[in-house]
Amino acid sequence: MTQRILILSHDNKIGDAIVVTGLFNPLRALWPDCEIGVLCGASNAALYRHHPEVKWLHVSASRNVFARLWTSLKARLKRYDMVVHFGLDLANPSVQLVLNTVNAKQRFLFLKHPTQPLPNDVVMAGDWGYSPDTAALHYTARHLRFLQTIGAAAAPYQYDIRLGPQTHDSARQHEGLQMVINSQSSAANKSFSLPWLQQFVTAVYAQHLHIHMQLLSASPALETAMREMFQPYADRVTVTPFASTVTPSLAIIQKADLVVSPDTYAVHAASAWNKPVIALYEPSVLSVDSWKPLSDSYAQIVAPTGKAVSDIGVPEVMKALAHLLANPKSRERVFLK
């Protein structure tokens, strides 16, 4: 019997969507004739649009409750057998609206529904690292638990990003080591400031003559600022044009030799393609443990308590870069004081 499975990704987060891509192949291996749908946002739809295992993509045009309601109504027409929600935000009225409107035959949740539990809910209860008495678990732990619950074969969990065919046509533009730098995250304290970025790029330019740096643009204003700032280094520093979709940035990361980023989607994209990554984190236990890189080679640098990512000294990052270049397959985590 064909199983119709809906995965909720309506939070629109790109990093979460990268993690979800690891589900598709195990689901297909378990149920070869299953039909997979994803309910997502406009920003993270790029992670699902070209995946061959996703049959239906329900895209909410915005976070507006009416947009989510309309998208959920369209998903309801597919009569899904099961819906899976990986979040712990079941008290959120928007999440409840989506779950109720989709009206799947069975719900797979990670907490008991706080207001409307159903008799056939599958609740995969666990601490998930959100208690102060336990260590935080990586976000993939929930995905692995879901696969275990439905009887999928045990295997390493691997992200599976698929990009459109046009993204594979572009060749690398420079010889030497290609370093991609993503400077922006979801909040200012998790992002590289422009002065910090200038100091870091200047240090790499002076100390590593074989490295070409490609800077990702998170907005038109940032693109303009970086072009002006790094024009003197244009022989080895490229600023990518801003794009309204994440796909071009993902394609650039796919071709990189090394990625430098704060705690955001670029770290997980690097992990998807097993790229060495230097990842900078603000001192949140949940961020540091739940979203650590999964690449074979990485350096995870954590800012001092009460400090932001840009308070991490550039010399510390340069030290990590030198170590990573000299010691492939190394993994290290540094807590700064």
Closest CA to 84 of 64, 103, 108: 108
Residue partners of 206: CB distance under 8 A and separation at least 6: none
The pLDDT, as a whole number, for residue 166 is: 67
Tell me which of 96 and 154 has the higher pLDDT: 96
| Residues in a beta bridge with 279 | 261, 300
Domain ranges of the chain: 4-150, 169-335
The pLDDT, as a whole number, for residue 175 is: 77
Question: What pLDDT, in 10s, does the model give residues 63-78?
Answer: 889 999 999 999 999 9
Count how many Cα atoms sit within 13 Å of the Cα of residue 15 in the half-sphere of its side chain. 21
Q: Give the model's confidence band at 52: pLDDT under 50 very low, under 70 low, under 90 confident, else very high.
A: very high
The pLDDT, as a whole number, for residue 279 is: 97
How far is it, in rounded angstroms, from Cα 179 to Cα 30? Answer: 38
Q: Give the model's confidence band at 101: pLDDT under 50 very low, under 70 low, under 90 confident, else very high.
A: very high
Q: List Cα–Cα distances, 9 to 240, 289, 301, in angstroms.
A: 28, 21, 29
Question: What pLDDT, in 10s, does the model give residues 164-199?
Answer: 876 655 555 677 899 999 999 989 999 999 999 999
Q: What is the mean pLDDT of the chain?
A: 92
Tell me whether the CATH fold assigned to 4-150 matches the one assigned to 169-335: yes
Q: Is the pLDDT reported for residue 80 higher than 80?
A: yes
Tell me which of 136 and 20 has the higher pLDDT: 20
Q: Which CATH class is domain 4-150?
A: alpha beta
Closest CA to 143 of 130, 152, 133, 134: 152
The pLDDT, as a whole number, for residue 230 is: 97
- The pair phi, psi for residue 225, each rounded to 5°, is -65, -40
The pLDDT, as a whole number, for residue 145 is: 95
28 in Cβ contact with 1 (< 8 Å): no
319, amino acid identity: K
Question: What pLDDT, in 10s, does the model give residues 257-289?
Answer: 999 999 999 999 999 999 999 999 998 767 888
Percent of the chain whose pLDDT exceeds 70 = 95
The pLDDT, as a whole number, for residue 168 is: 52
Q: Is the pLDDT reported for residue 337 higher than 80?
A: no
Tell me which of 10 and 166 has the higher pLDDT: 10
Closest CA to 86 of 30, 9, 5, 22: 9
Question: What pLDDT, in 10s, does the model give residues 105-157?
Answer: 999 999 999 898 999 999 998 877 665 566 778 999 999 999 999 999 888 89
Residue partners of 239: CB distance under 8 A and separation at least 6: 215, 217, 223, 226, 227, 230
- Which structure tokens are listed for 45? 């739809």
CATH topology of domain 169-335: Rossmann fold (3.40.50)
Residue partners of 249: CB distance under 8 A and separation at least 6: 182, 216, 240, 243, 266, 269
